[in-house]
Amino acid sequence: MTLKLALSGIRGRLRNLIVLLAGLVVSIAIFYMFQTMAWNTAFITHNAMINSIQLVYAMGSFLLAAVTLFYVIYAGGFLFSLRQREYGMYMTIGARRSRVRTVMLLEWLVIGGAAIVIGMALGCGLALLVSSLLANMLDTTFSGYRALYGPAVLFTVVFYVALLAVTALWSQLKLGRMRLLQLLRAGDSAERPARAGRGAFWGGLLGLGALLIGYIALTFMEQLREIGLLAATVMTPLGTYLLFMTWLPRLVRRAGRSDRRLAGIRAFTNGQLAFRVRDLSRMLATTALLVALGTGAIAGGIAFLNDAYLKARQSGQYDIVLENPDPQQLELLRAVTFEERHELRVKREDAVAWVARADLEAMLAHTPPVLEDGTVLEEALPGGQQAITWTSHPQWRQLLSGVLPASALGADEIRLADNSYFGAIGTAATTVWFGRSDDFLAYTDIWGELESGRTAYHWSKYDQYQDNLGLAGGTVFMGFFLGVAFLTMMASCLMFKILSGASTDARRYALLRKLGVRGERMRASIRRELGYLFLLPGAAGLLHVLVGMNLFAFILQQPYYRLWLPLLMFAVIYGLYYLVTVWMYNRLALPAPVSGDVPHTRQTGGGTRYPGGSMSRN
């Protein structure tokens, strides 16, 4: 009988429970993906570009666990809010409290168990997919990373079983403490919006000060060092919480009051919003902070990748250096637009490498060559058949070391020979072909192909690029996982927290319907209300990111380079959550379309689904 009640409860609210289940599944999958990296210390340390990456992961794990805890509690609260009245009903018809508890526990077990099984499967699949996609995109392999990772599986399952148990316990306690009447009148709030006192003003001012200090610390991190790091991590969250808890509710209320267009549904929406912002202020501040962390992590990873690109662009090395290119290679080179290209003939005779002077003069006739460190060659070409030595001609030496053929390696001296002398040398000439294209990054495929069969004797520009990319790739991968994990968890938290208020609002919207408010206007009001609830922390979080990216200034050349990409990703993820929340909210809070819509039909099935759907409740 108890099981039957539980199952019938689940069936009755199937669609809402599916959303809850989906939320849990996503949370488990993401938590697992994160753990596949957090527990794989070999992989992290090998790929990290930051020394203290282990610390970052330890902190990340802790934060994610904390957010997940709240998330599961909110999800449990959402389930509870859906079912309160029903539990109350069971109890009025004489079901004992213990029985209702068992029903609730069974329900939670069924959902939790299903979520763990599906979530783990999805997590493995996603980890595999994301890692191979990223590896493909970045042209590397994440050696040592495993999508199906034993310790991660174990930890995730244990963690979630514990979490679900804690949540179950929590709602059991809540049910135990609630009186029957409270259950039946679920959501009849007896609070009046508190009027902000004088304390709120000073609290807000304090918050503003703290936030400013945090921002200053973030901006001048290089100078402030440890003190800056401490100040930023303490002051920024402190300021955010204070501002969200003191000034924001006032601001929203005042904005609502001074709204001259009090006409229409706006009066109602403003009232709702003022009510909500006060209730949710801590939640919104937390969202803002984690949005900042998540987006910041993604942006940081991408900034490292961009740094690899930038370094390649700025390097003075020649894009390609080929010895005696064969016709096939020359054919490949046709596809490249070169800004400069040169040929250098070299002959080796005993301890001397002879370089054709005419080739070097041709090089100079174009524009003075750029050296590897980016400076321009200023030295004159030595006259006669003088040797180019390390001490006498460092710039020439540096220039030539990047383009001399393998045969010239180990020569004691490099000497210049004019045409007739060069021709007379008895050994075979090697022609080195090298040049600089209009855009190194545009032709990476061609460089790769040209250099594929090469026995490396010097570190080419392409090699350097590949190396940077590999390192950055690891960071991008980690940043991406970390960021997406924070963002989705946080957005899910916000979603369920907002949704658990929906059943309370159902009565308000039922009343509005009676007063003759059209369905589309109620939907517009909900869109606006939830829009602000998502927008406020989103905007604050983005501001944090914009300021916070300064943090990377001491390792990256341009931390803000292509920042739009992570911001876009954030906007897409966050936007999707907003849409899902609005959709769910409409379903939970708005009265069902009335039979009055279609007059004279039999479309009046058994019972209204929504409390307060009819004129009175007798």
Partner 1 sequence: MNVSMIEAQNVTKHYHSGRGQIIQVLGGITFTMQAGEFVGIMGPSGSGKTTLLNVIATLDAPSTGAIRIAGTDITTLNARQSADFRARRLGFIFQDYNLLDNLTIDDNIALPLALQHAPAAEVKARVARLMTEFGIASLAGRYPVELSGGQKQRAAAARAVIHKPALLLGDEPTGALDSHNAAVLLEILTHLNREGASILMVTHDAVTASSCNRILYMRDGMLSRELRRTGTRQQFYREILALLGEQDMNVGTAAALREAHP
Residues in contact with partner 1 by CB under 8 A are 188-193, 260, 262-265, 267-268, 271-272, 274-275, 507-508, 511, 513-520, 593-602, 604-606, 614-618
Sign of CA dihedral 18, 23, 28, 34: positive
The item of Mg ion, ligand ADP, partner 1, none sharing an interface with residue 601, based on CB under 5 to 8 Å by kind, is partner 1
Joined tokens for residue 392: 């006498």
Exposed e or buried b per residue across 105-141, where buried means at least 16 C-beta atoms within 10 angstroms of its C-beta: bbbbebbbeebbebbbebbbebbeebbeebbeebebe
Residues 249/281, Cβ–Cβ less than 8 Å? yes
Helix (H, G, I), strand (E, B) or coil at 75: helix
Shortest spacing between CB 602 and ligand ADP, in angstroms? 12
Question: In the complex with partner 1, which residue's Cβ is closer, 234 or 517?
Answer: 517
Shortest spacing between CB 592 and partner 1, in angstroms? 12
The item of ligand ADP, partner 1, Mg ion, none sharing an interface with residue 598, based on CB under 5 to 8 Å by kind, is partner 1
Is 618 one of the binding residues for ligand ADP (CB under 6 A)? yes
Terminal C-alpha separation, the chain: 28
Shortest spacing between CB 198 and ligand ADP, in angstroms? 51
**Within the chain, what is the greatest distance between any pair of CA atoms?**
115
The angle at the Cα of 304, spanning 226 to 489, to the nearest 5 degrees, equals 80
Question: In the complex with ligand ADP, which residue's Cβ is closer, 366 or 609?
Answer: 609
Is 617 one of the binding residues for Mg ion (CB under 5 A)? no
Question: In the complex with partner 1, which residue's Cβ is closer, 586 or 595?
Answer: 595
d(CA 36, CA 490): 20
Place of tokens 């204070």: 242
Shortest spacing between CB 592 and ligand ADP, in angstroms? 11
Shortest spacing between CB 15 and partner 1, in angstroms? 20
CA 65 to each of CA 41, 62, 278, 428, 526: distance values in angstroms, whole numbers, following the listed order: 18, 5, 26, 68, 31
Tell me which amino acid residue 578 is.
Y
Question: In the complex with partner 1, which residue's Cβ is closer, 77 or 501?
Answer: 501
Shortest spacing between CB 597 and partner 1, in angstroms? 4
The item of Mg ion, partner 1, ligand ADP, none sharing an interface with residue 515, based on CB under 5 to 8 Å by kind, is partner 1
Shortest spacing between CB 610 and ligand ADP, in angstroms? 11
The item of partner 1, ligand ADP, Mg ion, none sharing an interface with residue 15, based on CB under 5 to 8 Å by kind, is none
Stretch that binds Mg ion, among 84-92, 202-210, 317-325, 610-618 (CB under 5 A): 610-618
Question: In the complex with ligand ADP, which residue's Cβ is closer, 219 or 608?
Answer: 608
- The DSSP 8-state label assigned to residue 438 in this structure reads S
Question: In the complex with partner 1, which residue's Cβ is closer, 373 or 597?
Answer: 597
Shortest spacing between CB 604 and partner 1, in angstroms? 5
Is 618 one of the binding residues for Mg ion (CB under 5 A)? yes
d(CA 493, CA 540): 17
d(CA 471, CA 143): 12
Joined tokens for residue 300: 């940081």
Per-residue x/- marks for ligand ADP, 594-613, CB under 6 A?
------------xxx-----
The item of Mg ion, ligand ADP, partner 1, none sharing an interface with residue 262, based on CB under 5 to 8 Å by kind, is partner 1
- Residues ≥6 apart with Cβ < 8 Å to 490: 67, 286, 287, 290, 291, 294
Place of tokens 């449990």: 76
Shortest spacing between CB 507 and partner 1, in angstroms? 8
Shortest spacing between CB 612 and Mg ion, in angstroms? 14
Rg of the chain taking only CA atoms, in angstroms: 33
Question: In the complex with ligand ADP, which residue's Cβ is closer, 271 or 613?
Answer: 613
d(CA 587, CA 611): 13
- The DSSP 8-state label assigned to residue 178 in this structure reads S
DSSP secondary structure string for all residues of 519-570: HHHHHHHHHHHHHHHHHHHHHHHHHHHHHHGGGGGGT-S-TTTTTHHHHHHH
Shortest spacing between CB 513 and ligand ADP, in angstroms? 16
d(CA 353, CA 376): 24
Nearest residue relative to Mg ion (C-beta): 618
Return the half-sphere exposure (C-beta side, CA atoms, 13 A cut-off) of residue 285. Answer: 20
The item of partner 1, Mg ion, ligand ADP, none sharing an interface with residue 260, based on CB under 5 to 8 Å by kind, is partner 1
Question: In the complex with ligand ADP, which residue's Cβ is closer, 426 or 607?
Answer: 607
Is 420 one of the binding residues for Mg ion (CB under 5 A)? no
Shortest spacing between CB 281 and partner 1, in angstroms? 16
d(CA 383, CA 92): 107
Question: In the complex with partner 1, which residue's Cβ is closer, 193 or 448?
Answer: 193
d(CA 558, CA 562): 9
Per-residue x/- marks for ligand ADP, 197-236, CB under 6 A?
----------------------------------------
- Residues ≥6 apart with Cβ < 8 Å to 215: 236, 547
The item of Mg ion, partner 1, ligand ADP, none sharing an interface with residue 615, based on CB under 5 to 8 Å by kind, is partner 1
Short-list 247, 246, 212, 208, CA closest to 232:
212
Tell me, by CB under 6 A, how many residues bind ligand ADP: 4
Question: In the complex with ligand ADP, which residue's Cβ is closer, 398 or 608?
Answer: 608
For residue 320, the cross-strand partners are 435
Joined tokens for residue 589: 């809070």
Residues 270/259, Cβ–Cβ less than 8 Å? yes
Shortest spacing between CB 608 and ligand ADP, in angstroms? 6
d(CA 584, CA 613): 18
d(CA 410, CA 392): 18
The item of ligand ADP, partner 1, Mg ion, none sharing an interface with residue 599, based on CB under 5 to 8 Å by kind, is partner 1
Question: In the complex with ligand ADP, which residue's Cβ is closer, 401 or 608?
Answer: 608
Question: In the complex with partner 1, which residue's Cβ is closer, 350 or 597?
Answer: 597
Note the helical H segments in 93-149: 97-138
Question: In the complex with ligand ADP, which residue's Cβ is closer, 327 or 599?
Answer: 599
Question: In the complex with ligand ADP, which residue's Cβ is closer, 444 or 608?
Answer: 608
- The DSSP 8-state label assigned to residue 418 in this structure reads -
Shortest spacing between CB 14 and partner 1, in angstroms? 17
The residues of the shown chain that bind Mg ion, judged by CB under 5 A, are 618
The residues of the shown chain that bind ligand ADP, judged by CB under 6 A, are 606-608, 618
